[in-house]
Chain A
Amino acid sequence: MNRALRLTALRVRRQFLDWSGGWWFTLTLVANEAIGPLVGLFVWSTVFPDDRRVISYFVALIAVQLMTASYENHTFSETVYQGTVSHELLKPQPVIVNPIGENLAIRIWMTLFGLPLTVLTGLGLGSSYRWPDLLLAIPALACAAILRFLFTWILALTAFWTERVHAVVTFGSVLISLLGGAAAPISLLPAPWRAIAVALPFHAMLGLPADIATGAVDGPAAAVALARGLAWILVFTALAVVVWRSGIRRYTAVGA
């Protein structure tokens, strides 16, 4: 295992321990992440009371939401505001190792708390899935996890320029919710809006794994959607490098 991976694993372990003291706070995060899909579930299952796939979709969406949640505006941006990012800059490791480690640790805790509740909700509401669809959704889930981290990370880096990073990230979250499939399943959008939503990265960040898990997107369509998600990962990675370099240049020119 190379050094970067070892350091990331180390950081995940450290942050996992760190977050173990705040289980009650993790529960509030779980509730907060679940609210959006739950609202969608109630609204759309009222509109389509006979379509069980709507229930399955939104239950899957809760799971995706929990496993891809990103809070870099809280974890990283605050270190810029407090000047403690300086400590990280002087450590012999890439700075991004810490946000990645903390992101993964939080997601693990949220999954541990939230997934059993989600499964119970799904069982209670009668959602159902086919095993092949669930297996096919795993790569899409991994893609969503990476994309959502990169997206939030790029927005969180605006902390180098503005003190309003939370507003910036909230705007990003609204886009994910509106165009990612939480406000409405992409398959229910009118054709032009659906085409736009599918082409943008937000569906791959949230709704795609749920669509694949429920069989709404399968076969070649799933492969194309996944390939599109991977392409967005490349774009966001390049963008993250550019924004990071620019931000750190500004930080080291202005100081903390």
Chain B
Amino acid sequence: MIAFNLVMIVAEDLTMTYRVPVRDGGLTAALRSVVRRRYRDVHAVAQVSFAIAPGEVVGFIGPNGAGKTTTMKMLSGLLHPTSGVVRVLGFTPWQRRTPFLKQITLIRGSQPVGGSQELTVLDALEYQRLLYEVPSGEFRRNLADLTGLLELEPLLERQLRALSLGEKMRAGLALALLYGPKVLFLDEPTLGLDVSATATIRRFLAGHAARTGATILLTSHYMADVQSLCQRLILIDRGRVQYDGPLRELAARLSPYKLVRLNAPAATTDDVEPAGEIVESANGTWVLRVPRERVAQVTARLLTTLDVADLAVEEPALENVIDRAYRDGLP
């Protein structure tokens, strides 16, 4: 049982089942479906449980169709769970009470800015001020901060519809954070952004979390987002939580190997091969896959037996680790 008063977000046995119409192909089946419809249950989320403490920044990852967005929608109040308990800030989200809505935000990378696209960014911010009843002084302060951090100055007088995707995301973040929500649900906030825009958003979110102590639940297919922002990871697959814990532990659990990058121009394959599986080799540089428990022993041996110019021990790329988890499941 989860202690509801110590946490910002609680999900207990959260389940979402969609009932979707199905029919066979062909004219007969089409005619039959007019009088007798058949349905199939799709279990999007099944008995998901977790709790998130105030100020935590949690990565919520999983392959396409795993149930991330459905869970996010249930937590923000857009979906009514089929069963289970969900509490955010002490509220039941799907009731969408005004005090609850004033303390949360859901930012979707696919639709960073909702509503009318004809307004200028400044008009939209002003509208947001009135909608969320932000006092004038606080509005001015927040606007100045957000303008600086998100480099909004050149965008303020432009219409929302004329912004690029990256600019829309910056404007969307400003609109979403203007009223100081305590809980942020970020659904793929860097989706489709270029390298520079992605870096800006990541920097901003990391800074925002540190500055405000907001609780953040982030879904992203870009592991760099998760790595740069989240200490904790919840991995969901086929609607069920497969892992909930520190990011580094997941990496260790999924990948019992480390990579040893060795620069030894005089070495031959025969010299290096006994140390571990060769993953890459080019211009005197070798990358070896070595079991974690043997890393110390192997590096010591390489340094004593070979003329080593450089040696580094690396964690395997998180992308590869997570890919393995998606494909093979967790051990």
Contact = CB atoms under 8 A, between A and B. Distances in A.
A87 interface: yes
Contacts of A219: none
Contact of A14 (B80, B106, B114, B119): B119
Contacts of B73: 86, 255
Contacts of A84: 111, 114-115
Interface in B133-167: none
Contacts of B77: 89-90
B130 A10 contact: yes
Interface stretch (A53-61, A194-202, A204-212, A246-254): A246-254
Given A7-B131, A17-B123, A18-B116, A90 B111 contact: no
Given A15-B116, A89-B96, A90-B96, A252 B101 contact: no
A83 interface: yes
A145 B76 CA distance: 35
Interface in B88-109: 94, 96, 98, 101-102, 104-106
A256 B131 CA distance: 24
Contacts, number: 68
Nearest to A11: B127
Contact of A17 (B102, B104, B119): B119
A87 B116 contact: no
A93 interface: yes
A91 interface: yes
B89 to A, nearest CB: 14
B18 A254 contact: yes
B132 interface: yes
A14 B127 contact: yes
B131 A91 contact: yes
Contacts of A98: 115
Contacts of B106: 86, 90
Contact of B78 (A10, A90, A92): A90
A103 to B, nearest CB: 14
B96 A255 contact: no
Interface residues of A, number: 25
A93 B131 contact: yes
A88 interface: yes
Instruction: Give the bracket for the number of chain B residues in contact with chain A.
Output: 20 to 34
Contact of B18 (A86, A88, A90, A255): A255
Nearest to B118: A18
B79 interface: yes
Nearest to B115: A87
Nearest to A14: B127
Interface string B121-132: 001000100111
A89 B98 CA distance: 11
A91 B96 CA distance: 9
Contacts of A7: 130-131
B76 A90 contact: yes
B49 interface: no
Nearest to B132: A92
B118 A21 contact: yes
Contact of B79 (A87, A92, A255): A255
Given A17-B123, A88-B115, A89-B96, A253 B80 contact: yes
Interface in A39-73: none
Contacts of B118: 17-18, 21
Contacts of A91: 101, 131
Contacts of B96: 89-90
B131 A88 contact: no
A64 to B, nearest CB: 28
Contacts of B80: 249, 252-253
Contacts of A10: 127, 130-131
Interface in A138-172: none
B70 interface: yes
B94 to A, nearest CB: 6
Contacts of A92: 98, 101-102, 131-132
Nearest to A86: B78
Contacts of B111: 83-84, 87
Interface in A90-108: 90-93, 98
A255 B78 CA distance: 7
Interface centre among A83, A93, A253 (most CB of B within 10 A): A253
A252 B78 contact: yes
A249 B82 CA distance: 12
B119 A256 contact: no
Contacts of B130: 6-7, 10
Interface in A1-36: 6-7, 10, 14-15, 17-18, 21
A252 B116 CA distance: 23
25 contacts: A14-B127, A15-B116, A17-B118, A18-B119, A83-B111, A84-B114, A86-B114, A87-B115, A88-B114, A89-B77, A89-B78, A89-B96, A90-B78, A90-B96, A90-B104, A90-B105, A90-B106, A91-B131, A92-B131, A93-B131, A252-B78, A253-B79, A255-B70, A255-B73, A255-B78
Given A98-B115, A255-B18, 11 more contacts: A6-B130, A10-B131, A84-B111, A86-B73, A86-B78, A88-B115, A89-B77, A93-B98, A93-B131, A253-B82, A255-B73
Interface of B: 18, 70, 73, 76-80, 82, 94, 96, 98, 101-102, 104-106, 111, 114-116, 118-119, 123, 127, 130-132
